[in-house]
Amino acid sequence: MNTGFDIKADTDNMEFIYGKDVFGPITEKRKLDDIRQSLSDPNVDGPEYVYAVAMDVGKEKDKEDLIKRNLLYGAMIFGDGIVGEEPVRSQGHIHVISPSCNASTCEVYEIWLGEAYIYMQETAKDDPGRCYAVHAKEGDVVIVPPGWAHCTINADPKVPMLFGAWCVRDYGFDYEDVRGHKGVAYFPKVRNDEIIFEKNKNYKETQLVVKEARTYEEFGLKAGVPIYTQYEENKEMFTFVTNPAVADEIWKNYEP
């Protein structure tokens, strides 16, 4: 996997291993019980641990700059296997308003290993608005815009899925409306070794757009280059993550 810095994953134990010039925290593991409220069947059996998170990783030489910019890089391991009828996934949330920019912020995903669906919907109210499931493979980038409810799904349950993501340092998650609707507007289900999406009846009728990941020329991103490397090459590249107002015109008509 091409991450742009020296990080490895022990997927059996769901832990990250950092190179000598890389900083990072002890990997935090999330249990099946943590996501039950958002599953189509909250009573299913499955593995005790479903995914693991290491928030704030990077090269030692960049640490001071990342703190100054209020920019944070996270790394995640999603386990293989199926939970009931669903692949391993996060429960879904909205980014709360960050005090540093007085706004909900976006997130920039990069798939390192395996395949993912980055699912997103405009709101977590009764009418979820536009809904997308973006299929991303190794090396693909997906950007979730500010204020949208979203979750991450392992699109190939036969193998673990790893990814990294840029986000703001003073991030926070709002789960209330997602949990109030017993999940996001569409549940991923495994059928004949494929992922299909089933409507959550707790939302009003809407349409889901399933699409492949694209490139993001409007943000100046380069295809095939790790997003960490792109930050190294241009420290201002991800200002739109920490201050989404600089991309207001892009967000108005945004499609992932």
Please state, rounded to an integer, the average pLDDT across all residues of the chain.
Answer: 96
Read off the pLDDT of each residue in 224-235 and give the average, rounded to a whole number: 98
C-beta of residue 15 within 8 angstroms of C-beta of residue 52: yes
Give the pTM.
0.96
Place of tokens 């996997």: 1
Please tell me the predicted confidence (pLDDT) of residue 1: 87
Read off the pLDDT of each residue in 106-131 and give the average, rounded to a whole number: 98
Cα(47)–Cα(227) distance, rounded to whole angstroms? 31
Residue 88 has pLDDT above 90, yes or no: yes
Compute CA distances 238 → 52, 76, 214, whole Å.
Answer: 24, 20, 18
Q: What is the pLDDT of residues 24-80, one digit of tens each?
A: 999 999 999 999 989 999 999 888 999 999 999 999 999 999 999 999 999 999 999
Cα(139)–Cα(223) distance, rounded to whole angstroms? 8
Share of the chain above pLDDT 70, in %: 100
Read off the pLDDT of each residue in 115-131 and give the average, rounded to a whole number: 98
Please tell me the predicted confidence (pLDDT) of residue 87: 96
Q: Which residues contact 192 (CB under 8 A, 6 or more apart)?
A: none
E-strand spans in 56-129? 58-59, 71-78, 82-83, 86-87, 94-95, 107-113, 116-121
Could you tell me the domains of the chain? 7-252 (2.60.120.10)
Share of the chain above pLDDT 90, in %: 96
Q: What is the pLDDT of residues 183-204, one digit of tens each?
A: 999 999 999 989 999 999 999 9
Read off the pLDDT of each residue in 105-133 and give the average, rounded to a whole number: 98
Residue 69 tokens read as: 């910019």
Residue 48 tokens read as: 């005790």
Please tell me the predicted confidence (pLDDT) of residue 47: 86
